[in-house]
């Protein structure tokens, strides 16, 4: 599950954003101490930050620089300031995008999804190291080949996307909604049955390379991948 850290001093806006993003299966943390935003960021370790400009004590530009010194985590500014110069300053201080208040929640969600896909998902640049390796189970993100103890098996694109999501979130429960979103693209509608079929196929392919009972169904919640293969090494 992806975690979003919201830094917004308008409590009403903060709560609306948090409630909305919870519905889309994001884990949301909100700022508690405006004097320790960089420390809270390290503690929360989020996948993305929503950051206001007008904040108590120091402004969002200051905190953007502090966060950027710690992490390449995507940062989206949300601000009532609508001048071009504010947007330029946001980008120059390390932000990835800028949304002007008042905003539509759907626009915020779309920009979050876009950045998540580019930084953590299928659009991520895998040229430097295309191999995901979890305790000897390797997923080649360039060829969609799954390997364990010299046994190789080819995955389809949808099986690969599922495997990638599960390996990235090993031991964590991923909801059906989250996985459906991973499989869906503009050209190919994905329904609940498609997800079930591909989960079954991925489970069988894991078994074909010697890994049994690793992909578990959590009734009413989703699926999780359990590292049962570490003991098989």
Q: Are 164 and 210 in contact (CB under 8 A)?
A: no
pLDDT digits over 18-70, tens only?
999 999 989 999 999 999 999 999 899 899 999 999 999 899 999 999 998 88
pLDDT category of residue 137 using cuts at 50, 70 and 90: very high
pLDDT at 156: 92
What pLDDT score was predicted for residue 116? 87
Mean pLDDT across the stretch 69-73? Answer: 84
More confident residue, 13 or 114: 13
Q: Please, which residues have CB within 8 angstroms of residue 140's CB and are 6 or more apart in sequence?
A: 130, 131, 146, 147
- Cα–Cα distance between 28 and 18 in angstroms, integer? 6
Asked whether residue 211 carries a pLDDT value surpassing 60, the answer given is yes
Distance separating alpha carbons of residues 151 and 134, to the nearest angstrom = 15
**Average pLDDT of the segment spanning 14-21:** 96
Nearest Cα to 38, choosing from 60, 18, 16, 53?
A: 60
Model pLDDT, residue 205: 95
Tell me, what's the pLDDT at 185? 61
HEC per residue, the chain: CCEEEEECCCHHHHHHHHHHHHHCCCEEEECCCCCCHHHHHHHHCCCEEEECCCCCCCCHHHHHHHHHHHCCCCEEEEECCCCHHHHHHHHHCCCCEEEECCCCHHHHHHHHHHHHHHHHCCCCCCCCCCEEEECCEEEECCCCEEEECCEEEECCHHHHHHHHHHHHCCCCCECHHHHHHHHCECCECCCHHHHHHHHHHHHHHHHHCCCCCCEEEECCCEEEECCCCHHHC
Q: pLDDT of 84-105, one tens digit each?
A: 889 989 988 889 999 999 999 9
Average pLDDT, the chain: 89
**What's residue 68's pLDDT?**
86
142-200 pLDDT tens trace:
889 999 988 899 999 889 999 999 998 889 899 998 888 888 764 566 678 889 999 99
Inform me whether the pLDDT recorded for 14 exceeds 70: yes
Tokens 């293969």, residue located:
229
pLDDT mean over 94-121:
89
């Amino acid at each position: 599950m992806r975690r979003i850290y919201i830094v917004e001093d308008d409590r009403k806006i903060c709560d609306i954003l948090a409630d909305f993003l919870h519905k889309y299966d994001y884990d949301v943390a909100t700022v508690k101490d405006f004097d320790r935003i960089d420390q809270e960021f390290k503690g929360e370790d989020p996948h993305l930050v929503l950051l206001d400009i007008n904040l108590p004590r120091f402004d969002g530009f200051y905190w953007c620089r502090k966060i950027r010194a710690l992490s390449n985590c995507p940062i989206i500014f949300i601000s009532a300031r609508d001048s071009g110069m504010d947007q330029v300053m946001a980008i120059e201080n390390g932000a990835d995008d800028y949304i002007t208040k008042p905003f539509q929640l759907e626009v915020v969600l779309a920009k979050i999804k876009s950045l998540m896909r580019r930084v953590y998902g299928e659009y991520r640049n895998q040229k430097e190291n295309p191999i995901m390796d979890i305790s000897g189970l390797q997923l080649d993100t360039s060829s969609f080949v799954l390997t364990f103890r010299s046994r190789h098996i080819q995955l389809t694109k949808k099986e690969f996307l599922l495997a990638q999501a599960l390996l990235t979130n090993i031991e964590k429960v991923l909801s059906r909604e989250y996985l459906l979103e991973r499989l869906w693209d503009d050209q190919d509608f994905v329904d609940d049955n498609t997800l079930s079929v591909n989960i079954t196929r991925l489970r069988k392919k894991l078994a074909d390379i010697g890994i049994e009972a690793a992909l578990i169904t959590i009734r009413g919640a989703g699926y999780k991948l359990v590292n049962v293969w570490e003991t098989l090494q």
